[in-house]
Amino acid sequence: MAPPEETTAAHAAAEAAAIEENLAAKTTGDQPISTIVIVVAMQTEALPLVAKFELSEDLDRSVFPKGVPWVRYHGTYKGLHINLVWPGKDAVLGVDSVGTVSASLLTYASIQAFKPDLIINAGTAGGFQAKGASIIDVYLASDVAFHDRRIPIPVIFDLYGIGARRTFSTPNLVKQLGIKVGKLSTGDSLDMCPQDESSITANDATLKDMEGAAVAYVADLLSVPTILIKAVTDIVDGPKPTAEEFMENVVAVSAALHYAVTEVVDFISGKSLSDL
C-alpha cells in the first residue's frame, strides 16, 4: 500500500492530467459543442427561431449592462445550451437596432457572459445575381470583409479597413446540408453607392449585409469560432429598389432562414468543432 503522501501526489497528478486533456480537447475542437450564441439583427429574424427552439426570454436582462435594449432568449435544444440575442429596438425611434456598432457590442457582451463554444450569425442579406444569387437562397459565408471602411493609406491601413478574414471552416456541414457557400461584404448602409459597389466587387462578394463582418471581427478577437448563415431578401444588382424588394420578401425569407438555421443546429448537436 502506497504511503499517503504518494497517494495524494498521484491523485494530484491525475487531476492535472485530466485538466490538460480537457483543455487540449477544447483547443483542438474535440470536445462536444455545448453552448452556442445565435446573433440576429432583427426581431423578424429572431422570433421564428425562438419558437422553434422553445426559448424563453430573459426578462431581467441582468447579464447585459443596465439600460441597453438588447434582448436574450435562452433554453436547451437537443443537448445544446442556446442563447439567441438581438440588439432590440432603438429607444427613441422604435426600430430594430441594425448595423455594425450594435452587432459588435452585442457580440462582445454575449461572449463575455455566455462563453460560447460557437457563434452563429443568422440574418438576411442582399445578393448579387451576377454571382448566382436568387431570392430566398441561403448561404454560408466562407469569407467576410467590410466595403465602407475606406482608409486609402497603403499598405497597412487600407487592408485594416477592409478587414478581410475567413470564417470557421465547416466542410462536413456544407456537404451534408448542401448549403450554398459565398463571400460576404458588410457595411452600414442598405443602399449601395458607387464607392461601395467598387469595394464589394473587389471583395468578390456574393452577399451584402449590415453586421456579418462586425460579428466575425469581435469573435475573432476573442477566439470564438463563428459561422454566418445568410438568406437573400433582395437582388442588389437587379431592377427593383433594394428597400422595396427587402420589405416585400423579408417575412418569407426569414422563414427560409429559420429552416436553414434549424438544420444547422440539428447537425451541430452532439458534435465537436472538428466534426463540422
The catalytic residue positions are 45, 234
Distance CA 157, CA 199 (A): 15
| Closest C-alpha among 124, 32, 145 to residue 80 | 32
Q: Evaluate whether 46 touches 122 at the Cβ level (below 8 Å).
A: no
Q: How far is CA 41 from CA 26, 253, 256, in A?
A: 29, 14, 16
DSSP output for the chain: ---HHHHHHHHHHHHHHHHHHHHHHHHHT-SBP-EEEEE-S-HHHHHHHHHHTT-EE-SS-TTS-TT---EEEEEEETTEEEEEEE--B-TTT-SB--SHHHHHHHHHHHHHHH--SEEEEEEEEEE-GGGT--TT-EEEEEEEEESS-----TTTHHHHHH--EE----HHHHHHHT-EEEEEEE-S-SS--HHHHHHHHHTT-SEEESSHHHHHHHHHHTT--EEEEEEEEEETTSSS-HHHHHHHHHHHHHHHHHHHHHHHHHHHTT-BGGG-
Query: CB count, 10 Å around CB of 14?
Result: 10
